[in-house]
Structure 1
Amino acid sequence: MESKTHVRFTLGKQSSLAPDPHNELVGVEEREDGEGIDPRVRLMYLTNEGDLEGIRELLDSGTDVNFRDIDGRTALHVAACQGSCDIVGFLLQQGAVVDPKDRWGSTPLADAIHYKNHDVIKLLEKHGAEPLMAPMHVKNAREVPEYEIDPKELDCTNSVDITKGTFRIALWRGIEVAVKKLEEDVISDEDKVRAFRDELALLQKIRHPNVVQFLGAVTQSSPMMILTEYLPKGDLCAFLKRKGALRTRTAVKFALDIARGMNYLHENKPEAIIHRDLEPSNILRDDSGHLKVADFGVSKLLRVTNRVKEDRPLICQDTSCRYVAPEVFRHEEYDTKVDVFSFALILQEMIEGCPPFHTKQEKEVPKSYAGKERPPFRAPAKRYAHGLKELIEECWSEKPAKRPTFRQIISRLDTIYDSLGQKRHWKVGPLMCFQNLEAVWKKDHSSLSSRRSSSRSTSSI
């Protein structure tokens, strides 16, 4: 049974939801030492000090592990704030309630999340603690975003993974959709929640035939989810693994799809959108065979006059490094031209039939780019239409300013694509001409034979 006192414990870190815990309820007795006070309050004091043996003695003597001060705070709240993993574990073993709410509605888990005590977060979640609400929850019903989807509308009974366990197929209003889920066990990870928010903010802005279509999201309950159109033909990475090197005309057609989608993102107003993770696995194929750019988990919004920088150096375990521009790897400021660099590698891969520097380990590839190395051109020269190799080399230029924009890339690819069409007509032309002449000859020969036959019949009469 929980016990309470009129004393407020004020040492150490306070409730994550308290507006100003030291200035409320004037006249309430406050004690900031551990001597000569109620054993229950002393429990709070020893918890704050990290005195596990002292806590053990108090609990052995009968002190209530679930004692609350006047603000409804328990020793578990204090331990969670302080990040005392050993004490949190011991208090739970002694029967501490895992999710008590203080007068402001904060729980030990909420406090641990607020103070970024990750080991305590994991321990509390292991014992059944649950987040108070989704990180994007709003109290006023009028503030619920228009894109909000009721999770009850989602049928995930037969859902299967699409990629790396991040996306799953589900049914929503009679159609198959791709669902990106932020699992409950990572809601306490502020970096992942921030990335989720950023991706959602970007997807709401995007409407283009060569960019995956955003359908809605679940943000007012946990787990939070993002819904996009489901493209059953899979990604470009899997397609290239099956097909190998593509015909030049197909590769250029695909490159135009990618470039058009990326140009739309880069010319977005008032802020350009940098994808920053453009690679074959993030490019999807639709039913008509066209490509769509997808996965904006690490994308950035960029004011036209600004450059951006990663919060920390790139770690290859976090993302694929095989298509990352050297300035990102060197932890320098960058702009939209990082996507142009990645695009060059993808275009070359479609012609060559293998990933860039495929014989090197993933973590070694960005070092090669930073050292001014580029993947070799090994395919026969005829595979590279006039101007195509030069375009690739400009796109992966060491100096970002020398790389063309996607608007310029589209113009050049259109010219190359048209030239490939003309060559195709030239090759087919002579054969078709011969076939037409042959058909005319057969028709004339048949007509002549018919007239001769008719003439003979008349003569015999």
Structure 2
Amino acid sequence: MVIDSEQEFQVEISAIGKTNHKNLVQLLGFCNEGQRWLLVYEYMSNGSLASYLFGNSRPRWYRRTQIAFGTARGLAYLHEECSNQIIHCDIKPQNILLDDSLTTRISDFGLAKLLKTDQTRTVTAISGTKGYVAPEWFKSKPVTVKVDIYSFGMLLLELICCRKSFDQDAKDENQMILADWAYDCYEERRMYMLVQEDEEAIQDIERVEKFVIIAVWCIQDDPLLRPTIRESHRC
């Protein structure tokens, strides 16, 4: 992985170099000679979740649930188990990699924020990717690990429905914004609409509903109303 910003390079080294968890990518080495910086990670044979999820065939429901659990475990480690709390700041399908057994590996820590031992929030410029960025980024307020929770909620909706958070080609304009459509389906008790033609998911509709509830909980505008990653994982 080639990094174009020295600051992102240093952040990534500081963040991932101190971690060791099965749901995070493992840094094997790096080079910072001249004007280019190179990070060497273990090879992820199944590429990114974006390619896997939004490809030509729908991944099995069971596999999608395991990816959701793996992502939650990786975030729980960053938020609660590291010596210094780490806010990833850019959770999205492109930054979730899959190894040869389709185990989830969170990657790309170039935008991550490392908090001090007695610190729970930080003030920083907007980070992340459109569609996954929590509202507080735009309000010049301090950010916490709850920005990752928001991004996880959006990711979870995409895992449930096997579609992107915004689809301008949706059959119905009410389905274009995934978060709004998912909430409407929940309110109207029509969860099956989110997983049409997915027999495995329909057979597990109670879990589908639970995942939607968790996702909606995670994307509350007020970060104080969002769960911690462990609270969402225990539901």
CA distance in 2, matches of 1:309, 1:215: 31
Per the alignment, residue 211 of structure 2 pairs with 388
In the aligned structure 2, how far is the partner of 1:218 from the partner of 1:208? 23
1:308 correspondence with 2:107: no
Structure 1 match to 2:231: 408
Percentage of identical aligned residues: 30
Q: Is the 8 A contact 2:92 2:155 kept in 1?
A: yes
Q: Does 1:341 align with 2:160?
A: no
| Preserved contact between residue 351 and residue 384 of structure 1 (Cα < 8 Å) | no
8 Å contact from structure 2 (residues 71, 105) kept in 1: yes
SS at structure 2 position matched to 1:267: helix
- Identify the residue that residue 376 of structure 1 maps to in structure 2: 181
Q: Which amino acid aligns with 1:357?
A: F
Alpha-carbon contact 2:156-2:211 (below 8 Å) kept: no
- 1:206 is aligned to 19
Alignment of 1:230-269 (within 5 A): 230-243=43-56, 245-269=58-82
Q: Aligned runs of 1:269-348 on 2, under 5 Å?
A: 269-303=82-116, 304-311=118-125, 313=126, 320-348=129-157
Aligned equivalents of 1:227 and 1:329: distance in 2?
33
* Structure label with greater radius of gyration: 1
What's the CA shift for 1:380?
1.3
Gaps of 5+ in 1: 1-166, 168-179, 183-191, 361-368, 413-461
Shift of residue 391 of structure 1? 1.2
| AA aligned opposite 2:166 | F
| Separation of aligned partners in 2, 1:326 and 1:245 | 30
Higher RCO, Cα 8 Å, sep 6+: 2
Aligned CA distance change for structure 1 residues 245 and 346 (closer, same or farther; 3 Å)? farther
Does the 8 A contact of 1:234 with 1:284 survive in 2? yes
CA distance 1:410–1:242, shift in 2 (3 Å): same
Q: CA offsets, 1:47-85, max 9 Å, x none?
A: xxxxxxxxxxxxxxxxxxxxxxxxxxxxxxxxxxxxxxx
Within a 5 Å distance, the mapping from 1:81-100 to structure 2 comes to none
Amino acid at match of 2:22: P
Q: Give 1:219 deviation, angstroms.
A: 2.6
CA-to-partner distance for each residue in 1:229-284, whole Å, 9 max, x for gaps? 12121100011121565444322211001001111111144321001000000000
- Cα distance in 1 for residues equivalent to 2:123 and 2:147: 11
**Contact 1:237–1:281 (8 Å) recurs in 2:** yes
Deviations 1:343-395 (A, max 9, x none): 111111111121112229xxxxxxxx9xxx94312661644624222111111
Deviation, structure 1 residue 327? 0.9
- Provide the rounded CA distance (Å) in 1 between the counterparts of 2:43 and 2:180: 33
Deviations 1:79-122 (A, max 9, x none): xxxxxxxxxxxxxxxxxxxxxxxxxxxxxxxxxxxxxxxxxxxx
Q: Point out the more displaced range, 265-274 or 334-343.
A: 265-274
Structure 1 residues 171-250: aligned runs within 5 Å? 180-182=2-4, 192-243=5-56, 245-250=58-63
1-structure distance, mates of 2:130, 2:214? 22
Answer whether contact 2:3 2:9 (CA < 8 A) is retained.
no
Write the distance in 2 (CA, Å) between the matches of 1:384 and 1:244: 24
Q: Distance in 2 between matches of 1:333 and 1:376?
A: 30
In structure 2, the partner of 1:441 is none
Q: TM-score, normalised by structure 1?
A: 0.42
Instruction: Report the Cα distance in structure 2 between the residues aligned to 1:300 and 1:283, rounded to whole angstroms.
Output: 18
Distance change (3 Å), C-alpha of 1:384 and 1:331: farther
Q: CA deviation at 1:221?
A: 4.6
Q: Distance in 1 between matches of 2:100 and 2:3?
A: 25
Q: Which amino acid aligns with 2:120?
A: N
Distance 1:235 1:329 in 2: 28
3-state SS of paired residue (2:85)? strand
- Cα pair 1:356 1:375 within 8 Å, conserved: no
Do the aligned partners of residues 214 and 394 (structure 1) sit closer, same or farther apart at CA in structure 2, a change above 3 Å counting? Answer: same
TM-score normalised according to structure 2 size: 0.79
Match of 2:165 in 1: 356
In structure 2, C-alpha distance between the alignment counterparts of 1:291 and 1:336, rounded to whole Å = 20
- Number of matched residues? 209
Unmatched 5+ residue regions in structure 2? 170-176, 186-190, 194-201
Partner-residue secondary structure (3-state), 2:180: coil
In the alignment, is the contact (CA less than 8 A) between 1:244 and 1:353 conserved in 2?
Answer: no
Tell me how large the CA RMSD over aligned residues is: 2.4
Please give the per-residue CA displacement for 1:281-319, whole angstroms capped at 9, x wherever unaligned: 0000100111100001101012354311223x56xxxx5
